[in-house]
Amino acid sequence: MKCPDARRHLYALLDNELDVERNLEVLGHLDRCPECARIASGTRAFEQMIREKDPPLPTPAGLADRIFTAVHAEALRLSCAAAPPAAAAPRLAPPPPSTAPPPAPAQRAHDSHGDPQHRPAAPVRPFPRRAVALVTAAAAGVAFLLTQLFAVRNPAEALVAGSVSQSEAVVSHSVPLEFSSSDLGTIRDHLAPKVSYEVCTHHDLQGAGFSPSGGGLCRFPNPPSPLAVLIQYAGLGTEVTHLVVPDTGILLDPSRLLPRCAGLYEYKWQGHEVLICRCGPSLCLFVFRSDQDVRGRLLSCLVR
Amino acid sequence: MAASPDPAKCLEFERLFRPLLDSLHRTAARLTRDAVRAEDLVQETALKAFRSFEQYEAGSNFKAWVFRILTNEYINLYRQRARRPAVVDFAEVEPVYEEATEDPQFFTREESDVLREQLTDEVTQALDRLPAEFREALLLSVFEGFSYRELSTTLGVPMGTVMSRLYRARQALQKDLRHTAEEAGILRRTATT
């Protein structure tokens, strides 16, 4: 092998991309040729210098959470656009009875503007894109509708949805909560085109009696109040132990959470699904989903 | 028609994607040179990969598959090249590196050491001046350790084109930096290999 041949293969040699035979040829030449060996050494040093001079931008701490939040939201969107894989989803508890057939799209579109008291109590069913579009177009009306849905719940009825007592929930008021407005902004940016929601701020929490040392009660300053969510974590904040909607008295039993996807859970509640998107140890997104609609609300975002 | 997400596939996607996150972000940051755009690019890549996950063939190279999405998204979002009419396939007109007529240029170790001591942002600027196709290949190879085969899959070009782009990228980078160093008086103009 001559010098031009060896130098032509120099990069492939450094990249470990030469086959064994050619590799030996080039290395043999470098052993015999000090000038080519000097070039090989210089090239290696040059590449190292390049790596040092263009150091990587550190991955933001919350990037993974934000990305998988977006992915889970996408999974939710896809699951709403197509038939939900109810049979394939692992369940921690028997599914609630669901016997009513899905209404026709036209009927659903009609119902989305109707009296919420007349809605069927069946859990969420497949929701066609056309209906999603219709409901999206009537977003304001739907928001009002959902407000009414949650506002009219009877606390006594709602309590049957969970097995956690109020006293147990109070006992677990021990996890400090921190609230990051930047995380909210990121979520807002990522999810705004996909779901509608209300978001509370740190000031909202404080104004509602937020205690830095003992849980948080999140209230909306404007309608759809009185919706509120109290969320508590146990241990290092990796598990949801209690989910409470204080103003309605609703206690959700975490053991009834149905894993739907990575970090995404659903909870059947009086014919509606409470979708909980958990990303990492601390970030929660609650998406309340009715059997008529796919509108979501970010009720609480508590960052530990 | 979008398929309903299978829980097992959701988990599998996250299992495969999460280990690549840092590498994807590094590459996105170098491609865009902008922290916000880099995050956006990685997220769009994740979403697109998730939507297309049904098309991913289990057992094939997930890294190359995802990085191909990343580079395509980068083109769509920032390079705009794909929006221009493609008159000629770039790969078809690229000479393979064996046919390069110019004398190759290399730095000696001593010169590389001088550059390490004297240069700061000039290296990044020189990288950014590379033609886009060369730059993408070089970034993935030098900084992320992509094999030629992975580059071929990621960039959607034959292996020979990969080798050609890497060779030409490195040569162009060395010439650029040599010129910069000579202009700045860091290296003597007479210094040659």
Q: Of B112, B143, B148, which is closest to A46 when you measure between CB atoms? A: B112
Just give the CATH number of B90-183.
Answer: 1.10.10.10
Chain B residues with CB under 8 Å of A42 CB are 106-112, 193
Chain B residues with CB under 8 Å of A11 CB are 166-167, 170
Q: Do A64 and B46 touch (CB under 8 A)?
A: no
User: The whole model's pTM is what?
Assistant: 0.55
List chain B pLDDT tens, one digit each, 193 residues: 334 455 666 778 888 999 999 999 999 999 998 888 898 899 889 999 998 888 888 778 899 999 999 999 898 877 654 444 333 333 333 444 444 446 778 888 888 989 989 988 899 999 999 998 899 999 999 999 999 999 999 999 999 999 999 999 999 999 999 999 998 888 877 544 4
Q: Do B25 and A53 touch (CB under 8 A)?
A: no
Q: Of B10, B14, B112, which is closest to A49 when you measure between CB atoms? A: B112
| A91 vs B: CB within 8 A | no
Please report the residues numbered 122 through 181 in chain A whose beta carbons come closer than 8 angstroms to any beta carbon of chain B: none
| A222 vs B: CB within 8 A | no
pLDDT tens string A188-238 = 444 444 433 444 333 333 333 333 322 333 333 332 322 233 333 222 233
Tell me the shortest Cα–Cα distance from B85 to chain A, in angstroms: 30
C-alpha–C-alpha distance, residues B161 and B149, integer Å = 11
Is-contact A59 B129, C-beta < 8 A? Answer: no
Tell me the shortest Cα–Cα distance from A101 to chain B, in angstroms: 19
| A66 vs B: CB within 8 A | yes
Just give the CATH number of B7-83.
Answer: 1.10.1740.10
Is-contact B71 B155, C-beta < 8 A? Answer: yes
Tell me the shortest Cα–Cα distance from A304 to chain B, in angstroms: 21
Instruction: For CATH 1.10.10.10, list the domain ranges present in chain B.
Output: 90-183
B26: Cβ contacts below 8 Å, ≥ 6 apart = A56, A57, A59, B143, B144
State the pairing for strand pair A272-279/A283-289: antiparallel
Instruction: For CATH 1.10.1740.10, list the domain ranges present in chain B.
Output: 7-83
Nearest Cα neighbor of A261 from B46, B50, B54 is B50
Instruction: Find the farthest-apart pair of alpha carbons in chain B and give their distance in angstroms, rounded.
Output: 66
